[in-house]
Amino acid sequence: MDNLIHYNWHWFWHWGTGEICNNGTHEIDICRWALGVDYPTKVSSSGGRYHFEDDWQFYDTQYASFEFEGGKNIVWEGLSCNGLNTRSRGRGAIIQGTEGSILMDRNGYILYDKKGKVVEEEKEEQKSATTNTVGAGALDTFHMRNFAAAIRDGAKQASNIEEGHKSVLMCHLGNISQKVGRSLKTDPKDGSILGDAEAARMWSRDYEDGWDMVV
């Protein structure tokens, strides 16, 4: 079934996550790290399946917005069927601050002042270095070695599971907001949905006997 296996399971609700919880996870994680935020207070999402009339259940176009305490917010844009790049990049993150901005992707960064003038630029020697699992400079290699060392030797993880949970949860909240067609109020302590029983029902699913998650 080539509309499911090996890759296209992403686009169905029963198995998948949509683009926001596919590539979007990485960019949102970087933005969380850069802004120093944990769980949002409000989540909104808009978009749809516009390009093709097919059996995709997820969206080819999605704009998800996350608001945090302290006047900080993250906006993620996913365009699965439109190849127009932003600043000559197919993916990445732009952090806009009070004293300037920085554009980051897996191949480096560009720092701008408030007027948009380039202040500093750093380029990775290898193209898409973070996905190169062979070269010595590849971040994926470092993460894999760190993960193995944590299992074998109890080494401290460079990126722990709780931080991963926060970023992935935001993506799920974006999909839930899109599914119910309205903004979600969320608890900044744990990201749980407040005051919306319909949306909160998507927080988990029913498990077969013996397969219940126990934490």
Task: Note the pLDDT of residue 128.
Answer: 56
In a domain, 202, yes or no: no
Domain membership of residue 130 as a residue range: 8-188
pTM (whole model) above 0.85:
yes
CA pair distance 129, 107, nearest whole angstrom: 6
Task: Note the pLDDT of residue 176.
Answer: 97
Helices 24-35 and 161-180, interaxial angle, to 10°? 120
In a domain, 203, yes or no: no
| Residue 85, C-beta contacts closer than 8 angstroms, at least 6 positions apart | none
Strand, helix or coil for residue 202: helix
| Burial classification of residue 15, based on how many CB atoms lie within 10 Å of its CB (0-12 exposed, 13-18 middle, 19 or more buried) | exposed
In a domain, 150, yes or no: yes
Task: Note the pLDDT of residue 134.
Answer: 45
| Residue 25, C-beta contacts closer than 8 angstroms, at least 6 positions apart | 167, 168, 171
Residue 158 sits in a domain whose CATH number is 3.30.360.10
In a domain, 12, yes or no: yes
CA pair distance 8, 56, nearest whole angstrom: 9
In a domain, 2, yes or no: no
Question: Which tokens is 65 given?
Answer: 């917005």
CA pair distance 197, 200, nearest whole angstrom: 5
In a domain, 67, yes or no: yes
For residue 181, what is the DSSP state? T
In a domain, 50, yes or no: yes
Phi and psi of 51, rounded to 5°?
-75, -45
Task: Note the pLDDT of residue 107.
Answer: 80
What residue ranges of the chain have pLDDT lower than 70?
125-139
In a domain, 1, yes or no: no
Question: Number of folded domains in the chain?
Answer: 1
